[in-house]
C-alpha cells in the first residue's frame, strides 16, 4: 500500500484530478483506462456514480498501483469508511466534515475537505485536511485563490467546478496544489457515447497544460 505522502505527491503531479460522475458503474474501468492512457493517474469516483463503492473496489483491484483511485462527494462517515475499505486512496467531500480526517488518516489515506471562504479553508487545515477543496470555484476564479493564499500560503488548495482547459494555467500559477476537473474533461457527451478515444485525447491536453504551468514540460 502506498504511504499518505506518496498519495499526496501523486495528487500534485501533474495536478489534475479527474472527477468522475459516470452514468453506469461499468463505465469506470474503460473510463479510467482512457484517463491513464492520456497521462492522468488521479481518478475521483463520486458517490453519484451508481454502485460507486463496488466500482471503486473493482477499479482498485484492476489497476493496482497504476492508478490512484479515490472517492468523491462523500457526505457521511459511514460512506467514508466504506470507500476506504473498498480501497479508495483519497477521500473528497464538497463540504467541511472534520470528522472524516481521523478515518482517512487512520488508514493512511489522504483527505480533502470542502470549503468556500477563507475561514472555512483555514478550519479545514486546522482539522488536519491534507488538501482544501474550494467549491464551487467557477464563480470565484483564480484571482480568489491567489487572494486566499496571500495570507494563508500553507493551504494546499484544490479548486473544483469551473476548471477547464483554458484556465488550467491561471489556477496553477495562482498557487493551487492540484485541480479537480469534472465535466470539462469527462463530459456528458463522452459518457453518453462511451467515447474513450476522445477522453484520452482530452486527458493528454489537461496533463500537458498542467505540466507546462508548473514548468515541468
DSSP 66: G
Q: Is residue 130 domain-resident?
A: no
The answer to whether the pTM exceeds 0.75 is yes
Q: Is residue 215 domain-resident?
A: no
CATH number for position 27? 3.20.20.70
Catalytic residues: 44, 133
Interior angle at CA 111, CA 6 and CA 37, nearest 5: 55
Q: Is residue 122 domain-resident?
A: no
**Sign (positive/negative) of CA torsion 158, 197, 87, 3?**
negative
- Cell numbers placing 205: 491536453
| Secondary element (H or E) of residue 132 | strand 131-134
Instruction: Identify the CA nearest to 111 among candidates 89, 135, 90.
Output: 90
Structural domain boundaries, residue 53: 4-114+161-169+179-209
Separation CA 100–CA 129 (nearest Å) = 9
* All residues at 6 or more sequence positions from 50 whose CB lies less than 8 Å from its CB, including other chains: 22, 23, 24, 25
Structural domain count, the chain: 1
* Exposure on the CB side of residue 135, measured as CA atoms within 13 A: 21
Instruction: Identify the CA nearest to 22 among candidates 161, 186, 164.
Output: 186
Q: Is residue 149 domain-resident?
A: no
Q: Is residue 67 domain-resident?
A: yes
DSSP 157: E
Q: Is residue 128 domain-resident?
A: no
Q: Is residue 155 domain-resident?
A: no
Instruction: Identify the CA nearest to 83 among candidates 61, 113, 55.
Output: 55
Task: For the chain, 217 residues long, give each residue's pLDDT as a single digit of tens.
Answer: 899 999 999 999 999 999 999 999 999 999 999 999 999 999 999 999 999 999 999 999 999 999 999 999 999 999 999 999 999 999 999 999 999 999 999 999 999 999 999 999 999 999 999 999 999 998 899 999 999 999 999 999 999 999 999 999 999 999 999 999 999 999 999 999 999 999 999 999 999 999 999 887 5
Per-residue model confidence (pLDDT) at position 72: 98
Map grid coordinates 500560503 to a residue. Answer: 153
Q: Is residue 90 domain-resident?
A: yes
Amino acid at each position: 500500500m502506498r504511504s499518505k505522502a506518496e498519495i499526496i505527491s501523486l495528487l500534485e503531479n501533474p495536478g489534475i484530478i479527474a472527477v468522475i460522475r459516470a452514468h453506469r458503474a461499468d463505465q469506470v474501468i474503460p473510463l479510467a483506462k482512457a484517463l491513464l492512457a492520456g497521462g492522468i493517474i488521479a481518478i475521483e469516483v463520486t458517490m453519484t456514480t451508481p454502485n460507486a463503492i463496488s466500482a471503486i473496489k473493482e477499479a482498485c483491484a484492476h489497476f493496482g498501483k497504476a492508478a490512484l483511485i479515490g472517492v468523491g462527494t462523500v457526505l457521511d462517515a459511514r460512506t467514508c469508511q466504506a470507500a476506504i475499505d473498498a480501497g479508495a486512496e483519497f477521500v473528497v467531500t464538497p463540504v467541511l466534515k472534520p470528522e472524516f480526517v481521523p478515518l482517512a488518516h487512520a488508514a493512511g489515506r489522504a483527505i480533502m475537505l470542502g470549503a468556500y471562504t477563507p475561514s472555512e479553508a483555514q478550519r479545514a487545515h486546522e482539522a488536519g485536511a491534507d488538501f482544501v477543496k474550494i467549491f464551487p470555484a467557477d464563480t470565484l476564479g483564480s484571482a480568489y485563490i491567489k487572494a486566499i493564499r496571500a495570507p494563508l500560503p500553507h493551504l494546499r488548495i484544490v479548486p473544483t467546478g469551473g476548471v477547464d482547459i483554458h484556465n488550467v494555467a491561471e489556477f496553477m500559477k495562482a498557487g493551487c496544489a492540484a485541480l479537480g476537473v469534472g465535466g470539462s474533461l469527462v463530459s456528458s457527451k463522452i459518457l453518453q457515447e462511451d467515447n474513450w478515444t476522445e477522453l484520452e485525447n482530452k486527458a493528454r491536453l489537461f496533463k500537458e497544460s498542467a505540466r507546462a504551468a508548473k514548468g515541468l514540460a
